Every structure is written in C-alpha cells, then in structure tokens.
Amino acid sequence: MKRISFFFTIWLAVYLFSAHISYCQSAEFNQQARQFYNKAVKNIKIQKYSEALDALNMAIELDPNLAKAYIERGKVQLQLNQLDEASNDFSKSLLFDEKSGEAMFGRAYVSFIKNQYDQALQDFTQAIANGYTEAIIYYYRGVIRMVKQDYTGANLDFSFAIDKKPDFSYAYHDRASAKFKMNDLKGAQGDYEKAIEFSPHFALAYNNLGVIKKEQADYQGAIDAFSKAIVNDSDNYIAYNNRGNARYLSGDRKGALEDYNKAIAMHPDYLSALNNTAVSLSADEKYKEAVEILNKAINVNTEFGMAYLNRGQIKELQGDIEGACSDWKISDKLGIKEARVYLTEYQK
C-alpha cells in the first residue's frame, strides 16, 4: 500500500525589529524638539512606547525636519502595530535622505510583515545597496526568496546572514530548508545540526532534522530527532505524526499508531495523522476501522485526495473493484498521481 509522504513545513522565524537608537546632539535641531526627542529615546529604552510616541509627535511638530525622529517614530509605531503609520514615517525620513539604509530597512520590514513581498524584496535590496548590511536584512530577504521558491537565492542570503552572525540559528535552519528543497540532504542535515548547536531547545529544527534522516532511511535517527522535538515542545502534534511515520517505516506499527493517536488527540482534524492511522490499521487488516478513519478525513476536507486513494486501495483488497475505481477517479481529479496508475491497471 502506498504511504502518504511526510508533510515538511518551513516555519519562518520572525525577529522583532530592533531599534538602533542614538541621542540627537546636533545644534542644528530646535532645542525644545531635541528635548522631546531625547525624552522619547528614554521611554523607548524602557518600552514605554505610547509615551515615546507622544514625545516624538511633539518633537516633529516643533521641528518637521528631524529626519531621525521619523525613523524612531516609525519603530515605535511598529511596536504599537500601527503598520501603515510606521511605513509612512520611514518614507518621510527617506525624503530627507534617500540613501538612508535604516529607513529603507524599516519600510521593507513593514512590507515584509504585511506579506507584501515584492515591495519588501525591492526595499531590502535597496537598503543593502545603501550600506545597511546587518545579518537580519539578509535573513529576511532569504525568507522572501524561500516564499518565492528561489531556493538558490535564499541559500545565498542565509549564507550572508551567517557570515555576519556565525551563531544565527534561524539562518542555519532556513538555509537547511533551502538545501532540502534543492535535494542537498547532507547539507540540510548539517545546517539543522548547526541550528540545534546554537539553540539546543529548537524544537522545529529537531523535527526537520528528523524529516531529513527519514528521507535517508535512518529511521532510528529520525525517531530520536522527533522525540527531542517533542521533549522541547510537548504540544507538537506534527512531530508526533512524523515520529509515527518513522516508527511505521521501521516496522513498529504499534508505536506508530500510538503516535498518530496522540497527534489526533491534540488536533482532531489533522488530515495527515488521520490518513496515516488508516494506513497503519489497513496494514493490520483492520479494514473497517481504517475506512471509518478515512471517511472522517474526507468529511473534514472533501478535497483530500490521499484519503480517496487509500480508501480505494482498501476497497480493492476487499474485492470491491468498482468502488475502488470510483475513489481513485476522485483522487486522480484531485491531483494524486498514483491514482492514475491504479486506474490504468483496471482499464487495460
């Protein structure tokens, strides 16, 4: 019986936009405006963002040419989740200095968290050209390139981020994900291991390391990695499901069912675990129970093609060829390639 492939999900790690604050000392600034600006800086340092915003508003009202104040107000508005206002302030700062890498980065970051990836990619690239070359900017640009499926470009950006910050665990993790997409399993494994070296409790890295080990048929290594993911995140139902898959492939169907059931207990509508449970039950010839589970999966999502494929296989084993072909036709329409193979066998 065919097995559903493992779900491999890249979780994007988002950092808070860190403020690079400096006190305004220039004599060119309005003295009173400078006092409000410095008051804002003090409030930002102790995370009193509403008070900081009030002070920056006063500073800009007194001296509308305070370019740095617009940048700091943009950062404060980010903390207050006022995204449009933050973007406007970064753009205003650029009117005073179009080469400001910091302001360009700020505007790019707003676009990034609003999922406006084309604009974010353009602005991140311009910020780098303007001299803003912190590790984080390469990381964010790499994340966008992952979303756009430019895995080669993403790999390069994560490498730049790591060059700037050698202990950047998220960059190692996401570079591993890019390498996985490029079928460089050894390279991906090495990067996941580096991510764990710098962040020993990185549950997602353990989970994805397990996926890599499973792909290389190192089932015990995969089980160990998924187990560590669970130790570091006991609510990680995906890791339970993945460990169940590794146990199934290692021949431990009882352990696999236990893990699938734990995943379903945490997330009753988790399609992968439902489907995998049915596959495991079917392997033990518990066809009625398996069909009931697949029916539940189909009720959760009528377009879940793997459930139709596997239900068709069970019907075939029970001698119901017409019912099997009916399920496979649905699975085929939903894009499951194996279904066409099975249908072809009975259409000869």
Domains for the chain: give ranges and CATH numbers.
Answer: 201-267 (1.25.40.10), 290-348 (1.25.40.10)
Angle value at C-alpha 189, between 188 and 193, nearest 5 degrees: 115
Are 128 and 137 spatial neighbours (Cβ–Cβ below 8 Å)?
yes
Angle value at C-alpha 150, between 145 and 156, nearest 5 degrees: 75
**pLDDT of 27 over the 80 cut:** no
pLDDT digits (tens, 9 = 90+) for 265-297: 999 999 999 999 999 999 999 999 999 999 999
Q: What tokens appear for 141 in the block? A: 């640009």
- What is the DSSP-derived secondary structure letter of residue 112? H
**CA–CA distance, 239 with 229 (Å, rounded to integer):** 7
Q: Specify the 3-state DSSP secondary structure of 251.
A: coil
**pLDDT of 86 over the 90 cut:** yes
- Tokens 């560590």 correspond to 228
Are 330 and 309 spatial neighbours (Cβ–Cβ below 8 Å)?
no
**Tell me, what's the pLDDT at 17?**
40
* Spacing of C-alpha 238 from chain mean position: 14
- What is the DSSP-derived secondary structure letter of residue 64? T
pLDDT digits (tens, 9 = 90+) for 316-344: 999 999 999 999 999 999 999 999 999 99
List the single range of 27-31, 112-116, 168-172, 329-333 with lowest mean pLDDT.
Answer: 27-31
Q: Which residue did the predictor score with more confidence, 27 or 114?
A: 114
Question: What's the chain's average pLDDT?
Answer: 91
The backbone region for 337, taken as left when phi is positive above 0, alpha when psi lies in -120 to 50, beta otherwise, is alpha
Provide the pLDDT confidence category of residue 31 given band limits of 50, 70 and 90. confident
Provide the pLDDT confidence category of residue 348 given band limits of 50, 70 and 90. low
- What is the DSSP-derived secondary structure letter of residue 98? T
* Spacing of C-alpha 338 from chain mean position: 29
Give the predicted TM-score (pTM) of the model: 0.84
Contacts for 210 with CB less than 8 Å, ≥ 6 apart: 221, 222, 223, 224, 225, 226, 229, 239, 242, 243, 246
